[in-house]
Amino acid sequence: MSLPVGFVFSEPAPELRAWYKQAKRRKKQGVPPTQRPPKPTPNAQYPPKQPLALRLLAAFKAPHPAIRVHGIAADALYGPGAFVDAASALFEGGQVLAPIRSNQHRRVGQRAQPVADSVAPHPGTPHTIRLRGGAERVAMVGRARFYVCAHQTKRFIVAIHYAEAEHYRSRLASALRWRTLDSVQGHSLRWLVEVFMQDWKSYAGWSPLPKQPGAEGARQSVSLRLLVDHRLFLPPDPQGQLKHHRPAYTVESLRAHVHAECLSDVIDDLVSADHPQDHLHRFTTALHEVLALGQSTKHMLQRQLGRLEPTPSLQSRAYEAMRNIPVMST
């Protein structure tokens, strides 16, 4: 199972957000890059995501020096050389696995060649890959160790092609001594982050609820969600699963279990009460107050449709407009 060990919130600088909107609008209008406004200088109060991620890693390492970190699996945003080198150095040369952009170049002699072009002539060999420690799949895997120009050092590049995919997917590894399949299977563990986020959004009620804006709203949402997670581990069964090293229960099933317990407790209180009819009436009234019916805003009832009909005073204009339409003859 995967557990969150730290959170940090990224917020773009207001001037940078305005610049992106303006640059996108100018680009759509066909304005050349030289005539667009320059990108604003970085604002120290709004650091980018890569330094925030390094801060998270350092905050985890400081109180847990005995935990051995085998590898750091990240997405393409954390593939630049500065982040890879800093994250690897933070854990004494630990492995950093991330996608590498297809427009990155490698050095071949005295010239630079795109990484995608170097993969095409060498399609690789078929390998059986165990994804996220579970299901196995067969994929074409190619690998090479070469100098990446943007990183200014050698990287271990692995290219993967699945049968249903259209193109190869390239991954980089900072440590050159890992085996090819270990690097591929290690990076597949990054998907556990997506599973974790899906649990939060789908089974914790996050999707239908309005999002609280700003960093403070994000912190409140995370704090509430962690309390919900803690509640799900209180029943004896989940504790027994973890104690005996068995798979944890899904969030969806635990959520349904809590709902069933609540309903059972309500029914038990009603049946054992001295005046069950009165208790049932109070419970029903309170339930209807909490689950109030919402009025739909998708329909046109009680809305002003406006005046949807022709205007007699504009009839002459319409006649003149129709009369002045040029007629094409062949």
- Residue 139 CA: distances (Å) to CA of 76, 125, 162, 167, 237: 21, 8, 5, 12, 39
Residue matched to tokens 């604003």: 40
* 267/224 same-domain check: yes
pLDDT digit string, tens, across residues 233-276: 665 565 666 677 776 677 677 777 777 888 888 888 888 888 88
What residues contact 259, with CB distance under 8 A and at least 6 apart? none
Alpha-carbon span 159 to 287, nearest angstrom: 57
Burial string for 168-186 (b: 16+ CB within 10 Å, else e) reads: bbbbbbbbeebebebbbbb
Model confidence, pTM: 0.67
Residue 203: predicted pLDDT: 59
Q: What is the pLDDT of residue 111?
A: 85
Residues 79 and 130 in one domain: yes
Domain-located, residue 107: yes
Q: For the chain, what is the domain count? A: 3
293 lies in some domain: no
| 84 and 148 belong to one structural domain | yes
The domain of 38 spans: 1-47
